[in-house]
Amino acid sequence: MSQTYLTTEELSGRIKYDSKTIRRKLKDSVLIEGIHYFRPFGGRKILYIWEQIEEDMFKVPAINTLMAGVH
């Protein structure tokens, strides 16, 4: 399967969040290492996996499912 790897700056352009916000707030809270990003060759550089991020952005939060039956 072909995947698109993005730098923080490239991801910033796609999701319309500032690069600093991605690094400081989203990374490791919403974007998880090994799922949404990785460090190639064990280095410092981070590459984000676009397809996984895009898929997760459109998932309905679990609370909406729980609240669906409450009127």
Residue 69 reports pLDDT greater than 90? no
Please give the model's pTM, rounded to 2 decimal places. 0.80
Tokens of 40: 């190639």
Q: How far is CA 36 from the centre of its chain?
A: 5
What pLDDT score was predicted for residue 58?
84
Question: Residue ranges per domain, the chain?
Answer: 5-67
Which numeric CATH code is attached to 5-67? 1.10.1660
**What digits encode the pLDDT tens for the residues 21-65?**
999 999 998 999 999 999 999 999 999 999 999 998 888 665 555
